[in-house]
Amino acid sequence: MNDSLPPALAKIVKRFQRATEPKRRYEQLIWYGQKLADFPESDKTPQNKVPGCVSQVFVTASLNDDKVTFQGDSDSQLTKGLLALLIEGLNGSSPNEIVQLKPDFIQETGLNVSLTPSRANGFYNIFKTMQKKAMESQESVSN
């Protein structure tokens, strides 16, 4: 198990590892997507859009006491689930912790096997955007 994962993300990875069938993993993803907090329409701007995603995905990051809080939304249920998984797993981490993370924990969830190439690619794009936003949130505070 990847020890460098934030505790919340490690917990999510374990949860997905227990779901042995792809169908269960999808149900879990959709469940994560459904419990995602409402995303303000006013934040659905080009700056917050995740590039390279087939579906519309938006994500924002804010920094409080050196801990990042992400918010996001997507018009696709499964993509929203992937986003929600990342938000729940990464919220409360420092920008540095987030930037140092490798996206290979997706393999440990087993989701990469169930995802279409465009969705897997979307996952990486969301992850990279969140890393970029985490850094920006730190820069905007220190200026």
Closest-CA residue to 92 (of 2, 6, 11, 15):
6
The per-residue pLDDT for range 3-38, each reduced to its tens digit, is 689 999 999 999 999 998 889 999 999 999 999 999
Catalytic residues, by residue number, are 53
Which tokens is 50 given?
Answer: 């995740």
Q: Which residue has the higher pLDDT, 52 or 62?
A: 62
Using CA atoms, how far apart are residues 99 and 61, in angstroms rounded to an integer?
13
Q: What is the pTM of this model?
A: 0.93
Which tokens is 47 given?
Answer: 């700056």
* Contact yes or no for 132/140 (Cβ under 8 A): no
Using CA atoms, how far apart are residues 130 and 83, in angstroms rounded to an integer?
10
Domains of the chain (ranges plus CATH)?
A: 7-140 (3.90.1010.10)
Average pLDDT of 103-123? 89
Which tokens is 65 given?
Answer: 């006491």
